[in-house]
Amino acid sequence: MIKSILMPAKTDQRYYDTHYRFFINTAKAAGVGVKTFEDNRKGQGFVMWFRNYRALVDFGDHMCLAEDMADFDIVFKFHYSKVRHAGIERLYPLVPISFHNWGSYTRLLPKINYTANGDRILNNQRPGAAAIERRTTVQHMLMREYGIKIDRAITDQLTFWLKVNKAFVAVCVPGARNDILDRGQWQQMAFGMCTISPRLNIMLTHWREPMPGVHYVECAGDYADLLDVIERCRSNRGTCVEIGRNAKELFAATATPERVWAWINACALEQGLGTLKGEKHAP
């Protein structure tokens, strides 16, 4: 078992307080010790050392890899695509960002109970960057059809999570890519909510993947059928609850700190990285 890791120390790296911090907090919550070293790289990945092995954690939203894999003993990618990345040696999927404070997730689990009752439809996403056009289009579509039944409010995280208790479904328009699993949708799935989005192109840890009709409800990539999909959900609320339950199970099986680090350990062993390397080349 990997008992400790070396991670880059706090820098002005744009993503340090999101992707780096998520990984560090997940490691600590799993009982893995974390020490730091100086590394001022600015890209879409960071170096993690364990047992004197050099790993790359690629957190980029897009398909291309952040760095040349030849420089690393093993590589983990947040948004791993089965179509694009399957068969690449030493490359393994990781889950995307979910919770920075795992204590909050644990405390809220017994307090959030999704029932699909009521008429409130969640769509709590800011239009911006690559998603500005499609998120704006979807918001206008929902407001025209459902008016005040649409919840678009951007709130603190606790309020956002607790909305699951009183909502019917959540419409999730992905960000950087139209097939990516975003943090908000993943958190709602973690708490057992039925979400609607285009088909997701992602592999999770333990070679699990979110399946349409099982873990979420699929709509067309251009959202042309979104209103019809919402009304089918309205007519099949029991199915929505079942899909939410499946999503919650998927999260628990792939994304909790214990499951993430069980996976990292298994991948390291598969690559023969289970013992201390003789050469001391860690910083």
3-state helix, strand, coil in the chain (%, to 5): 40, 15, 45
Does residue 86 register a pLDDT over 80? yes
Q: What pLDDT sits at residue 46? A: 95
Does residue 48 register a pLDDT over 90? yes
Does residue 178 register a pLDDT over 70? yes
Taking residues 96-119, report their average pLDDT: 96
Q: What pLDDT sits at residue 195? A: 98
Taking residues 161-178, report their average pLDDT: 96
pLDDT tens, 214-237?
Answer: 999 999 999 999 999 999 999 999
Does residue 281 register a pLDDT over 60? no
The CA-CA-CA angle for residues 128, 77, 180, to 5°, reads: 35
In terms of Cα–Cα distance, which of 125, 279, 233 is closest to 187? 125
For residue 277, with 0-12 CB atoms within 10 Å meaning exposed, 13-18 middle and 19 or more buried, which class applies?
Answer: middle
Strand-strand pairing, 45-50 and 217-218: unpaired
**CA pair distance 107, 104, nearest whole angstrom:** 5
Place of tokens 């590589």: 75
Q: What pLDDT sits at residue 68? A: 87
pLDDT tens, 237-280?
Answer: 999 999 999 999 999 999 999 999 999 999 999 999 987 665 44
Q: What pLDDT sits at residue 42? A: 83
Does residue 22 register a pLDDT over 80? yes
**CA pair distance 30, 18, nearest whole angstrom:** 18
Identity of the highest mean pLDDT range in 38-42, 126-130, 205-209, 275-279: 205-209
Place of tokens 């407001």: 143
